[in-house]
Amino acid sequence: MSRLLKWGSGALLALAGLIAQPANAADDTIRFGYSELLSGAFAQVGDQGIKTIQTVIDGINAKGGVLGKKIVLVPMDNKGQAGEAIINLQKMVDEGIQIVFNCGPSNVGSALIGAVDKNNARNKDNRVLYINCGALAPELTNEQCSFWHFRFSMHAGQQAEIMIRALPKKITKVYLLNQDYIFGQSAQRDMKKYLALLRPDVQVVGEEMIPLGKIKDFSSYVAKVKASGAEALLTGNWGQDLSLLVKAGMDAGLPVEYHTMLGHLAGSPTAIGPGGNNRVHSVLSMHENVGLEINNKELDAWIQEFRKKFDFDFIFGDRRTAVEMTVAAIAKAGSTDPFKVAMALEGITITDAAGQPATMRKDDHQIILTYYGSRFTKDVKYDSEKTGLGWKTETVVKPGDLDATHSCKMKRPAS
């Protein structure tokens, strides 16, 4: 078992005790609340995410912080449950925390949008801003869009479009398998949408929805995919639902390519193993070989330092952008007041780690940034999870390349 998996609730509480600050320290620091899935079946993903964000904050603090203050990250475990996330949010409100990060899942993100809206409507003197760095359901910036919510990852529909754009021409038969909750339902729907629009030559030979985090043995699903004659399996699964699926496929010798949205997340590269060489694809906001691919020496040096600190790879470019753009907005606003920071975030553009523009779209608070359709291969310098295989860019999708439609009708407060 890796040391990441051993990082249990006791250590989490100890970390929270070390970095959380009492309310009377608020004048000396700027606290970012962080509600994350840090226990249970998907804890490894949350653990890597929180350490990535802390690393970005450490870099900002080393340069003086923002507004002359250091940033402190205050983590709370939401266990992947909406109810726990709302309890966490109330604790943060009570402690006077004004900026709250959450990186998924989408059921939690949806609940937080509603809870933040209610708090801010009722409690104007103690409002909070929700920074979403991983809840991907399109509905969150469409039907449920909120002035107080900003998403820093491309949503499931956008990622489905990237996936289909990167689908090799040789693939003509696909099987769709996704998790049966708001994100997985959106992923399945949008995969079919963009297949019809961009690849009408491709036949969907089967589709399946699975309960989130409940399946321990994927052999029956693998058998269905094999019997369908599919040449590729398209999935938005993440965490153990992806790791166990891919491992079962590899163990059974399933002769397909795996096209994923989140095949790079914790544990999945290990589950894929050597048998996945040139057969597994993922959609990433960043991977460790990008700096070398584009000859960005500053990014490559940052990657090397990251690899010295951790036994997992840097894959969360969107989370780095979330922190850096939020800090840029605080500096622009000259304040941490949620309304002022929100106004500063609308339409702001910064340069991401790879030197590409990242813009927060004003109309729906959906970030637009460069993504990389990538292949898992041994033909790279930096491997993932010590597998000997890492991510290599196949398709670069830049801002403006994707479907820009949305249904958000933003309601903005007067102040």
- 119 located within any domain: yes
- pLDDT per position as a tens digit, 268-282: 898 888 888 999 999
Is residue 375 domain-shared with residue 361, that is, in the same domain? no
Which pLDDT score is estimated for 6? 32
- pLDDT per position as a tens digit, 296-313: 999 999 999 999 999 899
| Average pLDDT value for residue range 4-8 | 32
Is residue 383 domain-shared with residue 355, that is, in the same domain? no
CATH number at residue 344: 3.40.50.2300
Which pLDDT score is estimated for 239? 83
- 408 located within any domain: no
| Lowest mean per-residue pLDDT among 3-12, 79-88, 160-169 | 3-12
Q: Do the Cβ atoms of 323 and 313 come closer than 8 Å?
A: no
pLDDT at 5 over 80: no
- Give the other-Cβ count within 10 Å of 42's Cβ: 23
* More confident site: 361 or 43: 361
- What is the domain count for the chain? 2
Is residue 257 domain-shared with residue 378, that is, in the same domain? yes
Which pLDDT score is estimated for 104? 82
Is residue 166 domain-shared with residue 53, that is, in the same domain? no
Is residue 52 domain-shared with residue 108, that is, in the same domain? yes
Q: Do the Cβ atoms of 276 and 389 come closer than 8 Å?
A: yes
State the average pLDDT for the chain: 91
User: In whole angstroms, what is the distance from residue 246 CA to residue 255 CA?
Assistant: 12
Query: Inter-axis angle of helices 182-198 and 156-165, to 10 degrees?
Result: 40
Which pLDDT score is estimated for 145? 98
User: In whole angstroms, what is the distance from residue 145 CA to residue 111 CA?
Assistant: 12
- 127 located within any domain: yes
Which pLDDT score is estimated for 52? 95
Which pLDDT score is estimated for 241? 92
- pLDDT per position as a tens digit, 332-341: 999 999 999 9
Q: Can you name the residues that pair with 393 across neighbouring β-strands?
A: 374
pLDDT at 17 over 50: no
Is residue 248 domain-shared with residue 379, that is, in the same domain? yes
User: In whole angstroms, what is the distance from residue 352 CA to residue 39 CA?
Assistant: 30
Which pLDDT score is estimated for 2? 34
| Lowest mean per-residue pLDDT among 24-38, 181-195, 261-275, 310-324 | 24-38
Which pLDDT score is estimated for 236? 94
Task: List b or e across 336-359, with b for residues whose CB sees 16 or more CB atoms inside 10 angstroms.
Answer: bbbbbbbbbbbebeeebbbebebb
Residue 202 makes CB contacts below 8 A (sequence gap 6+) with 167, 171, 172, 173, 174, 195
Is residue 164 domain-shared with residue 273, that is, in the same domain? yes
Which pLDDT score is estimated for 46? 87
- Tell me which residue range forms the domain holding 239: 157-284+370-397
| Lowest mean per-residue pLDDT among 19-33, 60-74, 227-241 | 19-33
- Give the other-Cβ count within 10 Å of 170's Cβ: 8
Which pLDDT score is estimated for 151? 98
pLDDT at 44 over 50: yes
Which pLDDT score is estimated for 11? 35
- 280 located within any domain: yes
- pLDDT per position as a tens digit, 374-399: 999 999 999 999 999 999 999 999 88
User: In whole angstroms, what is the distance from residue 98 CA to residue 286 CA?
Assistant: 28
**Edge-to-edge, what's the strand order for the sheet holding 349-351?**
349-351, 357-360, 367-368
Which pLDDT score is estimated for 346? 98
User: In whole angstroms, what is the distance from residue 177 CA to residue 238 CA?
Assistant: 11
- Give the other-Cβ count within 10 Å of 387's Cβ: 17
- 145 located within any domain: yes
User: In whole angstroms, what is the distance from residue 194 CA to residue 209 CA?
Assistant: 18
pLDDT at 1 over 90: no
Is residue 18 domain-shared with residue 143, that is, in the same domain? yes
What Rg, from alpha-carbon coordinates, does the chain have? 20
Q: Could you give the angle at the alpha carbon of 107 between the alpha carbons of 267 and 37, nearest 5°? A: 40
Instruction: Using alpha carbons, list the distances in angstroms from residue 267 to 2, 176, 273.
Output: 10, 21, 10
State the pLDDT confidence band at 400, using cuts at 50, 70 and 90.
Answer: confident
Q: Of the ranges 115-119, 250-254, 398-402, which is most confident?
A: 115-119
Which pLDDT score is estimated for 284? 93
- 357 located within any domain: yes
Q: Do the Cβ atoms of 33 and 100 come closer than 8 Å?
A: yes
Is residue 149 domain-shared with residue 165, that is, in the same domain? no
Which pLDDT score is estimated for 386? 92
* More confident site: 44 or 284: 284
Is residue 85 domain-shared with residue 148, that is, in the same domain? yes
Is residue 209 domain-shared with residue 194, that is, in the same domain? yes
Q: Using CB atoms within 10 Å of the CB of residue 62, give its burial: 0 to 12 exposed, 13 to 18 middle, 19+ buried.
A: exposed
**What is the percentage of the chain residues whose pLDDT exceeds 70?**
94
Which tokens in the block code for residue 275?
A: 């048998």
Is residue 263 domain-shared with residue 380, that is, in the same domain? yes
Torsion sign (Cα): 394, 106, 174, 164:
negative
pLDDT at 20 over 50: no
- 402 located within any domain: no
- 180 located within any domain: yes
State the pLDDT confidence band at 70, using cuts at 50, 70 and 90.
Answer: very high
Residue 205 makes CB contacts below 8 A (sequence gap 6+) with 173, 174, 175, 228, 229, 230
Which pLDDT score is estimated for 4? 30
